[in-house]
Amino acid sequence: MNGFTYTELDIDKLYETLTMIRDVFMEFEAPDYSEEGIEEFLCFLEPDEIMEKLENKELRIWVCEYDDKISGAIAASEDHINLLFVAAEHHRKGIARRLLEIMKENYNPVKITVNSSPYALEAYRRLGFKETDTEQEIKGIRYTPMVWYSKGIIMKVTKNDIRKAIAETGLSGELVCIHSSLSSFGEVEGGADTVIDAFLEEGCTILAPSFSYFYSLPRVEIIEQNDNDYDDEPFESNGKIYNTGINEIAPDMGAIPRTMLLRAGRSRGYHPTNSFVAIGPEAEKLVSCQTPEEVYAPFQKLMDLNGKIVMIGVGLTKMTAIHYAEKLSGRNLFINWALDKNGNTIRIREGSCSDGFDKLDSAVEKLEKQTTVGNSLWRIFPIKETVEACAEAIKKDPSITYCGKPNCGRCNDMQKGGPVL
């Protein structure tokens, strides 16, 4: 027993509950709202109106109590959360998660919607919700519509659904770099091929990372600030020679790039470990500029051609173009080694640790457009402005890319500017 009890609200405690909600609102949400928004929200908390909704069973409230004091509350109708508030001193103790479970146990909904405050966005994401639109503002109240689907609900997605999303977000005919999780959709009829076809039929050229780390050689020489996860001692070559015709790809790259590689007419860049694959009218133009030294040349080309980045059910930690932003901010990219076409050992360039890239969210949020396809949240960015905004943010605060693990040699060295040459 941890001292917290969860019950449906006893009407005698309505006033105390609304006072807790009001206090939490003033501390965590009001700073993001205009005067009008604050007033509008406080009106919503009028006890008489809430009481009426409770009596009509339009609304139910469950609360968490600690030491006989209300410390959290969820107010919900069948499949919508109206209010979810936890007293400041009890944040991050799992109270919101438990209150949400109680709502689910009582209503058994197949989906739940919520209009998240700016403050609660990340918490709702952690609770399994996804944005269904960008931030809205009505009467001074800022919110992002979000949805949660019960695990049993698998959204079926067709090629037409994907084409519609491409057309509606203005991506038709564009050059797009995609980073994708196929499973984020739910179930796509026809799998990865359907996603690729949808983009091609909308006239797009698609570019995706098709990395093949296993073509790298163990460390060949020691270079200061080049802690790219190498062992301490130099090794012999493992003898594998990369060429652009191979279809090998690291398993963590996902089903879509893997399937792109198998398509006739695809183009693959020349970089033994960090190649890109492209399909569509401008495919060759995008990847033919890639070299072992100029690993991110396809991004510069995409920037010159005003292309877009589409994050399909994945976050900024998967946005490879941020490594290019690191380079543009003045960092040296890490050095690794591989065999060239003739079997000679050469230096190649690679990105660093990307686990901290979510922190660049605030630098790019104004550039972002969103849509949902099935269960998959698509985040769409203009590449040029996005890479430039990230480069600027990294210049201003080099620790912004830090992943948070004190022993991350890659982050530590990259923050200092990367290898000393």
Ligand X SMILES: CC(C)(COP(=O)(O)OP(=O)(O)OC[C@H]1O[C@@H](n2cnc3c(N)ncnc32)[C@H](O)[C@@H]1OP(=O)(O)O)[C@@H](O)C(=O)NCCC(=O)NCCS
Query: Where does this chain touch ligand X (CB under 6 A) — which range of 79-87, 209-217, 334-342, 359-367?
Result: 79-87
Cα–Cα dist 344/338, whole Å: 8
Choice between 120 and 312, CB closer to ligand X: 120
Choice between 86 and 312, CB closer to ligand X: 86
From 11, 15, 31, 97, residue interacting with ligand X (rule: CB under 6 A): 97
CB 78 within 8 A of CB 109: yes
Residue 158, Cβ density class (10 Å: 0-12 exposed, 13-18 middle, ≥19 buried): middle
**365 Cβ neighbours under 8 A, 6+ residues apart:** none
Number of residues engaging ligand X in binding (CB under 6 A): 21
Q: How far is the CB of 414 from ligand X (least distance, A)?
A: 25
Nearest C-alpha neighbor of 351 from the set 330, 310, 322, 375: 322
Task: Verify binding: residue 102, ligand X, rule CB under 6 A.
Answer: no
Task: Verify binding: residue 28, ligand X, rule CB under 6 A.
Answer: yes
Half-sphere exposure of 388 (CA within 13 A, CB side): 8
What residue has token string 């990367």?
418
Q: How far is the CB of 87 from ligand X (least distance, A)?
A: 8
Task: Verify binding: residue 119, ligand X, rule CB under 6 A.
Answer: yes
CB 418 within 8 A of CB 333: yes
Task: Verify binding: residue 405, ligand X, rule CB under 6 A.
Answer: no
Helix (H, G, I), strand (E, B) or coil at 343: coil
CA end-to-end distance (rounded Å), the chain: 59
Task: Verify binding: residue 415, ligand X, rule CB under 6 A.
Answer: no
Q: Kindly report the number of other CB atoms within 10 A of residue 317's CB atom.
A: 17
Task: Verify binding: residue 147, ligand X, rule CB under 6 A.
Answer: no
Q: How far is the CB of 269 from ligand X (least distance, A)?
A: 36
Task: Verify binding: residue 85, ligand X, rule CB under 6 A.
Answer: yes
Choice between 96 and 311, CB closer to ligand X: 96
Task: Verify binding: residue 66, ligand X, rule CB under 6 A.
Answer: no
Give strand ranges (E) for 9-86: 60-66, 69-77, 80-86
In one-letter notation, the amino acid at residue 160 is N
Task: Verify binding: residue 112, ligand X, rule CB under 6 A.
Answer: no
Choice between 124 and 337, CB closer to ligand X: 124
Choice between 229 and 365, CB closer to ligand X: 365
Q: How far is the CB of 116 from ligand X (least distance, A)?
A: 5
What is the C-alpha radius of gyration for the chain, rounded to an integer number of angstroms? 25
From 96, 177, 325, 389, residue interacting with ligand X (rule: CB under 6 A): 96
In one-letter notation, the amino acid at residue 389 is A
Query: Where does this chain touch ligand X (CB under 6 A) — which range of 80-88, 165-173, 281-289, 307-315?
Result: 80-88
Nearest C-alpha neighbor of 290 from the set 387, 208, 223, 397: 208
From 93, 164, 240, 347, residue interacting with ligand X (rule: CB under 6 A): 93
Task: Verify binding: residue 22, ligand X, rule CB under 6 A.
Answer: no
Choice between 137 and 392, CB closer to ligand X: 137
Give strand ranges (E) for 375-415: 376-382
Task: Verify binding: residue 213, ligand X, rule CB under 6 A.
Answer: no
Helix (H, G, I), strand (E, B) or coil at 395: helix
Query: Where does this chain touch ligand X (CB under 6 A) — which range of 101-109, 111-119, 165-173, 354-362?
Result: 111-119
From 94, 140, 203, 218, residue interacting with ligand X (rule: CB under 6 A): 94
Cα–Cα dist 387/316, whole Å: 12
CB 176 within 8 A of CB 203: no
Q: Which residues bind ligand X (CB under 6 A)?
A: 24, 28-29, 84-86, 91-97, 116-117, 119-120, 122-123, 126-127
